[in-house]
Structure 1
Amino acid sequence: MQIPTHIQQAVKSNNRPTGDKERDRLRKPAEVLTFFQIASGDKVGELNAGRGYVSGIVAEAVGVDGLVYPHISPLSVERWKGDPIEKRLKRFPQTNMHSVIGEMESPNFPVKLDKILIIMTYHDSVWTNVNRDKMNRSIFKALSSGGIYGILDHHSKSGRGIDDCHSIHRIEKEFVVDEVLKAGFDLEDESDLLENPDDNLT
């Protein structure tokens, strides 16, 4: 996979926490963002963005002409005693990144977006009792025509559905694809770039 220069530079940026950079070897952010076609000038949302590991890189990649909206749920704000993205931005300013707070079913993205990502947290929508049909349909409406909904998560064995979401934080890939297609999306591509050949999916 050829990594575009703007993504290479984003990952190498000094405007990132050391702890984030230490995660790069396993998370392969350059390859992931290349696969999701993150381009300069894009408007990108991240659903359930946590402390901003992915959104921080995306903000560097899209540049000054782009915008990034990391979504934080009220539950996360309560858990971390405040908005974790705002805390991050005080240490690592990024003027093109603006957090939005809302439920996963209604993330409150303020503009139409080119891409919306949900990284390692689709399975969380199960055990937190999110209405995933409503969530996926709201994502569809938030995207511009031809926009990309990029989902990355730990997958469980075929046939397991949502049974492993809380216990081992995995969800069956085929189950997710089926849910998302019902919201109006088409499956354009999928990747095994983070597959571990030694993973027995348990």
Structure 2
Amino acid sequence: MTLLPKLIVVSAFVLSPFIQAADSTALQQVLNNPVRSDASKARDIYRHPAETLSFFEVTPKSAVVEISPGSGWYTEILAPLLRAEGKYYAAHSPANSTSDYSKRSLAAFKEKLAANDVYKNVILTEFSPLPGQQVAPAGSADVVLTFRNLHNWYMQKGEQGMVDAFKSFYDALKPGGVLGVVEHRLPEGKKGDDWLKSGYFPQSLAIALAQKAGFKLEATSEINANPKDTADHPGGVWTLPPTLSQKEQDKDKYLAIGESDRMTLKFRKPAAH
């Protein structure tokens, strides 16, 4: 029988001791940066970016890789935060992807980067859940981050694809570096045959696959938990905001729930001996 790792739960609203007061102030300042749209700011009550980045030990001097940044919700925060003293790698879809969705997403992201000078130092790299992907130069990153992406990689390439992905993050990190994962959380009791279609992911499986790639689980947090989310909606996680896949049907009900319940996991690459 596989033994699950002991989890360390960290208070949702206590800033990491690794983040000094000046760094906390810098985080708050970028949250109010005019580059962020009103629609982006409206998500803060669900995504807790200042607390989340603090938990993952991101500072203005960090070298950070964001995996699969999508439309750039966190890019609007990380790019200005890291512009002066840090480094920000955005590992988006491969340029040679055959997926129309990936092509459109990458094109829109490039347009976003070109539209404002605050993004001029963003380093665009590539990621897919395949072996041998280089999301940043080996051993260069202090922190690798991914937000609400695990289910996509698992649907594409299964457990081996997930391990390959985690190995590419491991290679990019410095010894002692942090991997921060936020993902829609599937209750362990709901792992039926069709759980993957829901967009939610089992926390125990996320931990096991990261550990298989060499990471050590250091802590978990309930920063992004939502006890109102029962994770059994007719259209999966996409039933909830911001997608609201059921459109007007029970819209008020889903708006009252808010965004999904999410695991927040901090892994560390072991320091060199």
Q: What TM-score comes out, normalization by structure 2 length?
A: 0.67
For residues 161 and 39 of structure 1, what CA distance do their matches in structure 2 show?
40
TM alignment of 1:109-188, pairs within 5 A: 109-111=135-137, 112-129=140-157, 131-158=161-188, 160=191, 163-165=194-196, 167-188=197-218
Deviations 1:148-200 (A, max 9, x none): 110000111215289523x2200000110011011111111110111112222
Partner of 1:65: 85
Structure 1 pair 9–116 and aligned structure 2 pair: CA distance change class (3 A): same
Q: Which amino acid aligns with 1:96?
A: N
Deviations 1:116-167 (A, max 9, x none): 11101111111122611111111111101111110000111215289523x2
The question of whether the paired residues in 2 share the 8 Å contact of 1:45 and 1:71 is answered with yes
For residues 194 and 57 of structure 2, what CA distance do their matches in structure 1 show?
31
Structure 1 stretches of at least 4 aligned residues deviating more than 4 Å after TM superposition: none
Q: Which amino acid aligns with 1:85?
A: F
- Are residue 48 (structure 1) and residue 68 (structure 2) matched? yes
Is the deviation greater in 143-152 or in 60-69? 60-69
Instruction: Answer 1 or 2: which has greater strand percent.
Output: 2
The question of whether the paired residues in 1 share the 8 Å contact of 2:31 and 2:77 is answered with yes
Q: What TM-score comes out, normalization by structure 1 length?
A: 0.89
Secondary structure at the aligned position of 1:109 is classed as coil
Structure 2, unpaired ranges of 5+: 1-13, 16-20, 233-273
- Percent identity over paired residues: 25
For residues 18 and 50 of structure 1, what CA distance do their matches in structure 2 show?
18
Return the structure number with greater relative CO, CA threshold 8 A, min gap 6. Answer: 2
Shift of 1:90: 2.3
Shift of 1:35: 1.1
Secondary structure at the aligned position of 1:145 is classed as strand
Match of 1:103 among 108, 119, 128: 128
Aligned residue pair count? 200
Is the deviation greater in 141-150 or in 156-165? 156-165
The question of whether the paired residues in 2 share the 8 Å contact of 1:121 and 1:153 is answered with yes
The question of whether the paired residues in 1 share the 8 Å contact of 2:143 and 2:179 is answered with yes
Q: What is the RMSD computed on CA atoms of the aligned residues?
A: 2.1
For residues 114 and 37 of structure 2, what CA distance do their matches in structure 1 show?
12
